[in-house]
């Protein structure tokens, strides 16, 4: 299957426009968040949900229009390798245990954790309503980012480079897309992206990686939000 110009346009948006938008809009968001502007996080969350689902649905619609097989995009049988789900469930259990541990921390311990979060704390939920909306963000990112950077972009780049290079480039783009979080954020995202690549290669589908990505983001939202003061 040869990519069409529309495929490359979608790829350019995912590989260039999305990371650039996140990077260049971060300072304005951060300034507004530090000034306690009303609804600043809610607007940011809604922007993520709308933009990512729009791109996700565009990719899926074009794939359907072209009559391409879904397994090629990574949307094959989710139970092809059932053992991978054992790993996903185990990680979910560890995340739940960590969440319970964080919930028991004292205010002093939580305050000490703020230094490790830095400015990213301003992106985390600070109210119950924001926390509920962040759940939607976590599901959105888990589904849409895996479809984009572990499914569509590697397939697209695979038309012009070896598969290993396509996967590596897609993972690097995914990491750089979090450049607004600084070098540490890029590194952490790159490591997580590498883990997701391993899950996808093992399972042969995106489904376990999507679920794991959702779990990781839900965990980060609760733990980070707890430290930032959302649940005190």
What is the number of other CB atoms lying within 10 angstroms of the CB of residue 152?
Answer: 26
Q: Give the C-alpha distances (Å, rounded to integers) separating 152 from 112, 142, 145.
A: 41, 14, 10
Give Cβ neighbours of residue 68 (< 8 Å, ≥ 6 apart): 1
Q: Are the beta carbons of 116 and 24 closer than 8 angstroms?
A: no
Number of alpha carbons in the 13 Å side-chain half-sphere of residue 43: 11
Number of alpha carbons in the 13 Å side-chain half-sphere of residue 188: 12
Query: Which pLDDT does position 230 carry in this prediction?
Result: 41
Query: Which pLDDT does position 216 carry in this prediction?
Result: 94
Query: Which pLDDT does position 110 carry in this prediction?
Result: 67
- Mean pLDDT per 10-residue interval, the chain, length 232 residues: 95 96 94 93 96 98 97 95 95 91 71 71 88 95 97 97 96 92 88 95 96 94 75 43
H or E segment and range at residue 14: none
Looking at the chain, the number of H-run helices and the number of E-run strands are 11, 0
Q: Which of 147, 134, 161 is nearest to 10 (CA)?
A: 147
Query: Which pLDDT does position 115 carry in this prediction?
Result: 65
Give Cβ neighbours of residue 73 (< 8 Å, ≥ 6 apart): 59, 63, 147, 151, 152, 155, 206
Query: Which pLDDT does position 231 carry in this prediction?
Result: 43
Query: Which pLDDT does position 100 carry in this prediction?
Result: 84
Query: Which pLDDT does position 35 carry in this prediction?
Result: 93
């Amino acid at each position: 299957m040869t990519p069409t110009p529309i495929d490359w346009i979608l790829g350019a948006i995912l590989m260039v426009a999305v990371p650039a938008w996140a990077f260049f809009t971060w300072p304005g968001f951060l300034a507004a968040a530090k000034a306690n502007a009303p609804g600043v996080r809610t607007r940011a969350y809604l922007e993520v949900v709308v933009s990512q689902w729009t791109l996700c649905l565009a990719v899926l619609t074009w794939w359907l229009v072209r009559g391409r097989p879904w397994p090629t995009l990574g949307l094959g049988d989710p139970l092809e390798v059932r053992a991978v789900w054992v790993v996903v469930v185990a990680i979910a259990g560890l995340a739940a245990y960590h969440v319970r541990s964080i919930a028991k921390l004292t205010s002093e311990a939580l305050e000490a954790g703020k230094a490790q979060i830095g400015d990213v704390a301003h992106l985390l939920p600070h109210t119950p309503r924001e926390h509920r909306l962040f759940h939607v963000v976590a599901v959105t990112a888990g589904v849409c980012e895996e479809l984009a950077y572990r499914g569509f972009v590697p397939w697209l780049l695979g038309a012009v480079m070896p598969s290993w290079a396509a996967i590596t480039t897609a993972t690097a783009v995914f990491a750089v897309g979090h450049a607004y979080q600084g070098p540490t954020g890029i590194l952490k995202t790159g490591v997580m992206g590498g883990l997701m690549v391993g899950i996808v290669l093992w399972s042969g589908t995106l489904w376990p990686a999507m679920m794991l990505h959702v779990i990781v983001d839900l965990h980060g939202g609760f733990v980070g939000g707890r430290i930032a003061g959302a649940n005190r």
